[in-house]
């Protein structure tokens, strides 16, 4: 066996090893990506953990909206009238802003929000979105997939209605709409004794 021949075999061996290693890495990455896709996708299996049980997903969703207080902000006049707003007017969004250190936010029109969203996209977006106050994102994040799907079914069952709520206004800008101020105010009686 010439030393040249054994070198060639040696080099060949490394080439095969390298090809196997590279394709292995590619396969691993592929599997990893597929795995990431799977774990990012909402769980469509039988519901685990707490969830609302009702005669239909729409009914479950209506219940979640009622007990979740969504109408207080997303339905004009709801909080002020103790809920005296017909369901046909629910969740159409609010033009009255909430102004605080975060800027000015407007409760979205949830009917329009779901109009072009698939159920899976709705679950993914709501799970991962975390914008500004006073939207109670922790409450939405705590909902099971099953409950988010019911919420979607209910929102989707409502007639498309109303306009988009105004865009968010940064803290440095003055809103052009009416707004509620979330500025803490300390009346004299609430100040410490030595307060000026």
**Residue ranges binding ligand HEC (CB under 6 A):** 68-70, 72-74, 98, 105-108, 110, 113, 126, 131-132, 134-136, 139-140, 151, 168
Map tokens 């109303």 to a residue.
Answer: 162
Q: How far is the CB of 169 from ligand HEC (least distance, A)?
A: 10
Instruction: Please say which residue, 43 or 124, places its beta carbon nearer to ligand HEC.
Output: 124
Instruction: Please say which residue, 116 or 194, places its beta carbon nearer to ligand HEC.
Output: 116
Helices (H) and strands (E) in the chain, counts: 7, 3
Alpha-carbon span 41 to 123, nearest angstrom: 9
99: β partners: 104, 181
* 25 CB-side CA count, 13 A: 5
Q: How far is the CB of 150 from ligand HEC (least distance, A)?
A: 11
Q: How far is the CB of 167 from ligand HEC (least distance, A)?
A: 8
Query: Which token pair is 55?
Result: 């005669």
Instruction: Please say which residue, 5 or 138, places its beta carbon nearer to ligand HEC.
Output: 138
Q: Which H or E run includes 179?
A: strand 179-181
Q: How far is the CB of 59 from ligand HEC (least distance, A)?
A: 16
Q: How far is the CB of 23 from ligand HEC (least distance, A)?
A: 43
Instruction: Please say which residue, 43 or 137, places its beta carbon nearer to ligand HEC.
Output: 137
Residue 104 CB burial class (10 angstroms; 0-12, 13-18, ≥19): buried
Instruction: Please say which residue, 47 or 103, places its beta carbon nearer to ligand HEC.
Output: 103
Q: How many CB atoms lie within 10 A of CB 191?
A: 10
């Amino acid at each position: 066996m010439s030393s040249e021949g054994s070198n060639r075999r040696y080099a060949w061996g490394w080439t095969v090893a390298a090809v196997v290693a590279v394709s292995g890495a590619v396969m691993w990455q592929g599997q990893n990506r597929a795995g990431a896709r799977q774990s990012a996708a909402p769980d469509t299996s039988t519901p685990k953990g707490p969830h609302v049980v009702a005669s239909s997903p729409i009914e479950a969703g209506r219940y979640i909206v009622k007990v979740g207080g969504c109408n207080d902000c997303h339905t004009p006049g709801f909080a002020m009238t103790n809920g005296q707003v017909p369901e046909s007017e629910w969740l159409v969004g609010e033009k009255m802003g909430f102004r605080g250190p975060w800027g000015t936010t407007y409760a979205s029109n949830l009917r329009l929000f779901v109009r072009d969203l698939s159920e899976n996209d709705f679950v993914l977006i709501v799970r991962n979105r975390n914008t500004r106050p006073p939207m109670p994102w922790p409450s939405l994040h705590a909902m099971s997939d099953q409950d988010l799907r019911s919420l979607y079914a209910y929102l989707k069952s409502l007639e498309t209605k109303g306009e988009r709520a105004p865009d968010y206004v940064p803290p440095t800008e003055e809103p052009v709409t009416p707004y509620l101020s979330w500025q803490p105010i300390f009346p004299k009686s609430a100040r410490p004794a030595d307060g000026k």
